[in-house]
């Protein structure tokens, strides 16, 4: 500017720009272009550049987020947390509804058992098929599906006995149902009781359970038991023997599949031995298990002498019944004995060395070539009234009896 007004440093009054604009409009000759910018103007502009805040734009790919992106991420996190909460709330509601339904079903079961006793066991045995089918169907509706399947199999177990044995067997079956229902009411979240009454946990749940018992050992396949159930399923039980244990310890591999699918190919053959790590389903006395890691096959040989220190042939059965009185089939290792026939032609296992000692009836017919044969040890299932033979060791080697 060409004006000769004295230079002033610092802040201008608010009216100064207006006055300069008025002079420029009325006397434009006073504002001829100057040769250079006054020094005080340059100094003032320099201070303004240093103190002025400049907006910082986020550098693409540097990890910065705009406000919109941050708000969207926060909203997504809130929605995800809300979805998890809704799922958990729905699961809690379903679990509560199932528990209430099962409890009501067990109340009906108690009344049904009382009715059978009031009407008489003879009538129950004669009409067990229809009576058990009705209460089983009712329990399915009340979500006690596992217990319903068990009740549906009672008639076949009774019919497998002689007529004079059926009333006592019926009392045992009904008593086990009452004890199981009472135990479930005391601990409905107990995994063993929930498995026996309503539904079982899946394979992944068992393998992921940190409290599940794990046993790494050498196992022998004792035998298998395949049964067609009245609900259209087939149960396939494979019994294993722990060969590294000081006492006889067993494991059960249990699988179910539709009868319409036909018989499945079995991954195990009686007599096979393999090294594996088994994970057991939680229970008072764990028995059912899963093969978590099968490492390889092992050559066959003799069983260990499990009879050392065993004073009672059925001690394992008694211990299992004390811990879980609702259990049906219990695996046992019998000491030296033989298979004999009684006057009616029924087969019995007889302990060796004492003709008046313990003798247990055998459920199925026995191959005549086994009669009188000295058995060093016999693995079998005992249900309180009958033996189901699995395998035995004799002077001729291993015998497959399943």
- 10 Å CB burial of residue 277 (0-12, 13-18, 19+) is middle
Q: Which of 302, 331, 321 is nearest to 393 (CA)?
A: 302
pTM: 0.75
What is the C-alpha to C-alpha distance for residues 168 and 152, in angstroms, rounded to an integer? Answer: 18
Beta bridge partners, 387, equal 362, 382
Average pLDDT by stretches of 10, the chain with 402 residues: 44 59 69 63 63 51 60 73 76 81 96 95 92 95 94 92 92 95 94 93 92 95 88 89 93 88 75 96 95 93 76 82 91 92 91 79 90 93 92 92 86
Strands (DSSP E) found in 306-367: 330-334, 337-341, 347-351, 359-361
What is the C-alpha to C-alpha distance for residues 124 and 257, in angstroms, rounded to an integer? Answer: 30
Instruction: Write down the pLDDT at residue 374.
Output: 93
Instruction: Write down the pLDDT at residue 78.
Output: 78
Instruction: Write down the pLDDT at residue 260.
Output: 78
Residues 6+ apart with CB under 8 A from 256: 233, 234, 235, 236
The DSSP secondary structure of 182-244, one letter per residue, reads HHHHH-TT-HHHHHHHT-PPPHHHHHH-TTS-EEEEEEEEEEEEEEE-TTSEEEEEEEEEESS
What is the C-alpha to C-alpha distance for residues 349 and 369, in angstroms, rounded to an integer? Answer: 14
| C-beta separation of 176 from 123 below 8 A | no
What is the C-alpha to C-alpha distance for residues 283 and 323, in angstroms, rounded to an integer? Answer: 10
Query: Which sign does the torsion angle of CA 204, 206, 212, 215 carry?
Result: negative
What is the C-alpha to C-alpha distance for residues 105 and 361, in angstroms, rounded to an integer? Answer: 36
Q: Which of 262, 292, 257 is nearest to 277 (CA)?
A: 292
Residues 6+ apart with CB under 8 A from 54: none
What is the C-alpha to C-alpha distance for residues 290 and 213, in angstroms, rounded to an integer? Answer: 11
């Amino acid at each position: 500017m060409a004006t000769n007004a004295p230079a002033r440093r610092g802040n201008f009054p608010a009216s100064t720009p207006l006055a300069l604009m008025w002079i420029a409009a009325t006397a434009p000759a006073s504002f001829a272009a100057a040769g250079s910018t006054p020094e005080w103007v340059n100094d003032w502009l320099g201070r303004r550049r240093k103190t002025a805040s400049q907006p910082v734009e986020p550098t693409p790919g540097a990890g910065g987020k705009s406000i919109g992106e941050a708000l969207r991420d926060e909203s997504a996190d809130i929605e995800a947390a809300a979805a998890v909460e809704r799922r958990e709330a729905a699961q809690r509601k379903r679990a509560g509804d199932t528990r209430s339904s099962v409890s009501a079903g067990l109340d009906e079961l108690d009344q049904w058992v009382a009715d059978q006793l009031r009407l008489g066991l003879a009538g129950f045995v004669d009409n067990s098929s229809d009576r058990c089918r009705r209460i089983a169907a009712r329990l399915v509706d009340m979500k006690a599906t596992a217990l319903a399947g068990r009740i549906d199999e009672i008639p076949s177990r009774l019919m497998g006995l002689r007529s004079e044995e059926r009333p006592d067997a019926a009392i045992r079956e009904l008593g086990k149902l009452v004890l199981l229902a009472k135990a479930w009411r005391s601990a409905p979240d107990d995994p063993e009781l929930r498995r026996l009454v309503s539904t079982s946990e899946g394979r992944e749940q068992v393998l992921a359970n940190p409290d599940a018992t794990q046993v790494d050992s050498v196992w022998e396949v004792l035998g298998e038991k395949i049964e067609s159930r009245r609900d259209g399923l087939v149960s396939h039980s494979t019994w294993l023997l722990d060969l590294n244990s000081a006492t006889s310890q067993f494991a059960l591999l249990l699988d179910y599949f539709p009868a319409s699918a036909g018989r499945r190919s079995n991954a195990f053959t009686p007599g096979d031995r393999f090294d594996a790590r088994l994970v057991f389903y939680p229970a008072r006395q764990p028995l059912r298990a899963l093969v978590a890691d099968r490492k390889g096959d092992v050559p066959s040989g003799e069983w260990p002498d499990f009879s050392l220190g065993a004073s009672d042939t059925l001690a394992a059965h008694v211990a299992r019944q004390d811990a879980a009185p609702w259990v049906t089939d219990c695996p046992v290792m019998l000491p030296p004995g033989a298979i004999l026939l009684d006057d009616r032609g029924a087969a019995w296992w007889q302990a060796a060395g004492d003709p008046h000692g313990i003798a247990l009836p055998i459920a199925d017919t026995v191959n005549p070539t086994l009669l009188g044969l000295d058995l060093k040890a016999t693995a079998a299932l005992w249900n309180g009234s009958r033996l189901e033979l699995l395998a035995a060791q004799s002077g001729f080697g291993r015998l497959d009896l399943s």
